[in-house]
Structure 1
Amino acid sequence: MVRSTIEGMPIAPEDVEAPAADTVLFRSSPARTFVTVFAVLMLAYLVVSPVVGRIARDTGDPWWVTAVQAVIVGATVAAFYSLSARAALTTWVRVSAGGLELAAQGSDPVLLAWADVAAVTVRRSGLRTVLEVTPVDLDTVHPVQDSGVGGPPLTETSRGPAFVADLTQIWPSPRALRRELVRRLHPYPKPILVRPPQPW
């Protein structure tokens, strides 16, 4: 069941009734991405600046000038990265006993029951982390709601068409999503082969 949404606007996970109670939500967060990128750039700038200053003959600027420069550079680059066209589009993945729900880059969400999932891959593609969900058959995919945007983008894989989503800004993290997917797709521990003692 989906609550009413504004026509053409991305559907948030809060607007979609979960298919099961044990849901785990992963969603893009430009704000968290900004903070992370900003912190990394600040640290890198503050570490590299003294080295560059020594090589290029230090100008004698006080330490706070370097700190201000680090803040300006870090904030500018982090803001550009977090608010770029691709990054600003909403992506969310919700995992539960009811299946896998996916909305990628502002698309309408779709639901796949676990029995209808042929393969799930979380992989690196350059600087991005990408999720590929291959359904057994596209006819088994359940659109949650049609707001006119359309479902997640498709890509061709060796197993057939697959939904693809950019996980670069997903939180908690793509690694946590991978662990959750493995847990859902392989719910039982692998049996240990016990060899009975031989009489000889």
Structure 2
Amino acid sequence: MEYEIRGGAFPMVICTLQKGETMKNETGAMAFMTSDMEMDTNTDGGLLKGLGRALSGDTLFFNFFTAQSDNQQIGFSSCTPGKIMAIKLDGTNTIIGQKNAFLAAEKSVDIDIHIRTRLGAGIFGGEGFILQKFSNTGIVFLEIDGEVIEHDLQPGEKLLVDPGHIAAMEESVDFDIERVKGAKNIMFGEGLFFARIQGPGKVWIQTMPISRLAESLIPYLPKPDSK
């Protein structure tokens, strides 16, 4: 499979498949495909696995697209302004992504829910304690809100991040939530909680979570008629 990402702030990944190669995606992300692609829809592992993915914000069913001849193309588009990030999995690197991060992947990629077991991350995680886990082998495409900044954390190195800005991280990265210290900071600062992430491993930070974008647009939306 070969791919190209186009479109700037409203991106699309265009995948070129040879005969027998298969891509899978969440329902609704496919933008176009050439005529010799065959589509099949199923839960990719059974109903229970599909229900688990639905809890993480994904769809119950996946669409599978298989090339029936060489050089067939299919395009998957992001549903929000931002980036499409391609990550190659080799069987040793597992990626944890935010809810709704998954866009598309090669058939061999395993997609599961990832539950944070710590109380702090579970209750106060902002974006929720149920995340997505991508493992096995193949290329997975993730949707990133806004631009993306990559940090390669060394062992023991820490970052404090607004929870909504964490797009993805390697499974080796430790993640928990800690409360902001100081009454003035809580009342007039950035909020009640920070995400504390600690290396080793890579973390990808997104510049404009879709929730923040929605909040910024509210003042400009038409007001309901008060009559």
> What TM-score do you get using the length of structure 1 for normalisation?
0.25
Higher relative contact order (CA 8 A, sep 6+): 1
Larger strand fraction of residues: 2
> What TM-score do you get using the length of structure 2 for normalisation?
0.23
